[in-house]
């Protein structure tokens, strides 16, 4: 099986996809890890990180201590297990992007991660827009400048790629089909 | 033991002294809320809620053996299983395969469903019983004719419950792991915490009461001694009181 394959439908029939006007959802599938561990295999992480970094600015949730940007979590997110301060990382570096799959406090395999995609020249989005995305499941609102969203699927066994920009979708899919970049540090 | 509440119509939770006892609700509440350590696992603990952020849809798991961030975990889940292609009860694990010998998406087996539902009900019931315990102890303090004393006693009880849960729960988790890693770990930990929490609560209250009464006895004896000395010093048979700062022996002073 390839590191990543594309599917119109998710493997979990009970999956609730993003439903926002103008957005299209695809599902990225990958083989299970041979070592019995949860999460995507290293080759999948490398391919996905390289593809995302090649086509967009990637913003993801991270441990606040090491994150360049931090925002206080409201009580509504604290009740959902968020720490008092949420860290955010915005980058195009594949090595950094790869770390989103193993962030303390934002576990990919328990659907505790979210990845926003922005055009390279987009300005930083407001904290309120980030927090609004996290309030509902699936999200009921996304930042105005956001053109793509990657969400972990059930048990982190697949990913939902939502895009409202056809060019971004094509670019991501094309990048995924390219020869894989060297495995990034994790 | 002081009788704090005359509550003749109450049931089994009233002890012989008439005081509302909170051992059972406190023990159950502790098991539902406290992290129960699993010895020899580098920081894993049994819990009934996940660690880390999860979206509003929440988690489909009800039982967790996890570290403080949730990064390493074993959790009992129900839902679509990519390994079997079915909806079933299964274990999901990350970073703890060596401790429990379970791969990700391993089916939970015949007892998995009972354990899954039992954990969920226990979480809700335990928290409710915790509230009952807090309310009962708060009431006992409010109606007590010696509220600070009673506050100290119930605080000792809760401290004992916490310590008992941690110690006996850890022992239970270790024992349960020997029987059946994963499910046995959780069951042993929860039952151990329940027993340890209830008995620790009782022991904490008893020890605190004993310590308070010992302290009161010491104070009483000191006061009595001081009073006795003042009486001797001021008694007509003992002669005039010596001037301040000097001890002047007086002829004929009774000893």
| Cβ separation A82–B53 shorter than 8 A | yes
Q: Kindly report, residue by residue over B124-151, the tens digit of the pLDDT.
A: 999 999 999 999 999 999 999 999 999 9
In a domain, B253, yes or no: no
User: Do residues A109 and B90 touch, judged by C-beta distance below 8 A?
Assistant: no
In a domain, B235, yes or no: no
User: Do residues B181 and B106 touch, judged by C-beta distance below 8 A?
Assistant: no
Residue A28 structure tokens: 């990225």
| Residue-by-residue pLDDT tens, chain B, 255 positions | 444 443 333 323 445 444 556 677 888 888 899 999 999 999 999 999 999 999 987 789 999 999 999 999 999 999 999 999 899 999 999 999 989 999 999 999 889 999 999 999 999 999 999 999 999 999 999 999 999 999 999 999 999 999 999 999 999 999 999 999 999 999 999 999 999 999 999 999 999 999 999 999 999 999 999 999 988 888 776 555 555 444 444 444 444
Looking at residue B11, its pLDDT comes to: 29
Looking at residue A184, its pLDDT comes to: 38
pTM, full prediction: 0.84
Looking at residue B27, its pLDDT comes to: 82
| Cβ separation A80–B54 shorter than 8 A | yes
In a domain, B126, yes or no: yes
Number of domains in chain B: 1
Coil, strand, or helix at residue B72? coil
* List of chain B residues whose C-beta atoms are within 8 Å of the C-beta of residue A109: 92, 94
* ipTM, interface predicted TM-score of the complex: 0.88
Looking at residue B28, its pLDDT comes to: 83
Please tell me the distance from the alpha carbon of residue B225 to that of residue B255, in angstroms, as a whole number.
Answer: 15
| Cβ separation B57–A111 shorter than 8 A | yes
Coil, strand, or helix at residue B20? strand
- Could you list the residue range(s) of the whole structural domain that residue B169 is in? 23-214
In a domain, B75, yes or no: yes
In a domain, B134, yes or no: yes
Interfacial A residues in 69-98 facing B (CB < 8 Å): 77, 80-83, 86
Looking at residue B195, its pLDDT comes to: 94
Looking at residue B65, its pLDDT comes to: 97
What DSSP element (H or E) covers B74?
strand B73-81
CB-based contacts of B119, cutoff 8 Å, min separation 6: B48, B62, B63, B76, B186
Residue A43 structure tokens: 């080759």
In angstroms, the separation between the Cα of residue A162 and the nearest Cα of chain B is 17
In a domain, B236, yes or no: no
CB-based contacts of A69, cutoff 8 Å, min separation 6: A87, A88, A89, A90, A124
CB-based contacts of A52, cutoff 8 Å, min separation 6: A58, A94, A97, A115, A117, A150, A172, A175
Please identify every stretch of chain A with a pLDDT value under 70, giving residue numbers as ranges.
1, 179-186
Give the residue numbers in B contacting A (CB under 8 Å), as ranges.
Answer: 49-59, 61, 69-71, 73, 75, 77, 79-80, 82-83, 87, 92-95, 97, 103-105
Looking at residue B13, its pLDDT comes to: 44
Looking at residue B240, its pLDDT comes to: 52
In a domain, B12, yes or no: no
User: DSSP assignment of chain A, as one string?
Assistant: --S-EEESS-SSTT------TT-EEEEEE-PPPTTS-SS--HHHHHHHHHHHHHHSEEEEEE-GGG-SEEEEPPHHHHTTT--SEEEEEEE--HHHHGGGGGBTTB-GGGT---EEEE-TTPPPPPHHHHHHHHHSSS-S---TT--EEEEE-GGGSEEEEEES-HHHHHHHHHHHTSPPPPPPP-
* List of chain A residues whose C-beta atoms are within 8 Å of the C-beta of residue B88: none
Looking at residue B19, its pLDDT comes to: 52
Q: Which candidate in A9, A11, A16, A38 is best for mutational testing of the B interface (most B CBs within 10 A)?
A: A38
In a domain, B34, yes or no: yes
| Cβ separation B55–A80 shorter than 8 A | yes
Which of A13, A36, A80 comes nearest B56 by C-beta? A80
Which of B59, B80, B95 comes nearest A12 by C-beta? B80
Residue A82 structure tokens: 């968020």
Assess A104–B contact: CB distance below 8 Å, yes or no. yes
| Cβ separation B57–A39 shorter than 8 A | no
């Amino acid at each position: 099986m390839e590191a990543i394959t594309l599917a119109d439908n998710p493997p979990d029939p009970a999956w609730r996809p993003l439903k926002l006007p103008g957005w299209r959802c695809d599902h990225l599938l990958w083989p299970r890890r041979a070592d019995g561990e949860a999460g995507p295999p290293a080759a999948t992480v490398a391919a996905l990180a390289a593809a995302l970094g090649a086509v967009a600015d990637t913003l993801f949730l991270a441990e606040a201590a090491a994150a360049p940007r931090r925002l206080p979590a409201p009580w509504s997110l604290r009740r959902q297990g968020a720490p008092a301060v949420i860290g955010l990382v915005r980058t195009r570096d594949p090595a950094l992007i790869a770390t989103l799959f193993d962030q303390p406090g934002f576990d990919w395999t328990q659907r505790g991660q979210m990845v926003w995609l922005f055009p390279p020249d987009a300005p930083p989005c407001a904290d309120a827009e980030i927090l609004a995305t996290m309030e509902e499941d699936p999200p009921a609102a996304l930042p105005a400048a956001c053109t793509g969203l990657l969400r972990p699927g059930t048990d982190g066994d697949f990913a939902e790629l939502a895009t409202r920009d056809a060019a971004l979708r094509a670019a991501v899919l094309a990048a995924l089909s390219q020869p894989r970049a060297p495995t990034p540090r994790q | 033991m002081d009788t704090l509440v005359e509550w003749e119509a109450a049931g089994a939770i009233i002890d012989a002294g008439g005081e509302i006892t909170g051992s059972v609700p406190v023990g159950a509440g502790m098991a539902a809320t406290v992290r129960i350590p699993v010895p020899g696992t580098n920081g894993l603990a049994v819990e009934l809620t996940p660690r880390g952020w999860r979206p509003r849809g929440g988690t489909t798991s009800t039982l967790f053996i996890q570290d403080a961030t949730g990064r390493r975990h074993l959790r009992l889940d129900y839902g679509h299983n990519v390994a079997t292609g079915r909806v079933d009860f299964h274990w999901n694990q990350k970073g703890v395969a060596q401790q429990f010998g379970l791969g990700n998406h391993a089916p939970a087996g015949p007892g998995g469903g009972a354990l899954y539902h039992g954990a969920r009900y226990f979480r809700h019931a335990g928290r409710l019983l915790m509230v009952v315990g807090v309310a009962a102890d708060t009431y006992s303090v409010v109606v007590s004719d010696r509220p600070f004393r009673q506050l100290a006693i119930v605080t000792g009880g809760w401290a004992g419950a916490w310590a008992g849960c941690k110690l006996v729960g850890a022992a239970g988790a270790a024992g349960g792991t020997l029987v059946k890693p994963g499910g046995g770990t959780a069951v042993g930990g929860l039952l151990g915490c329940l027993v340890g929490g209830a008995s620790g609560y009782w022991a904490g209250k008893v020890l605190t009461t004993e310590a308070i009464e010992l302290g009161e006895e010491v104070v009483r004896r000191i006061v009595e001694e001081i009073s006795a000395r003042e009486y001797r010093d001021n008694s007509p048979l003992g002669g005039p009181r010596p001037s301040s700062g000097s001890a002047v022996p007086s002829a004929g002073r009774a000893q």
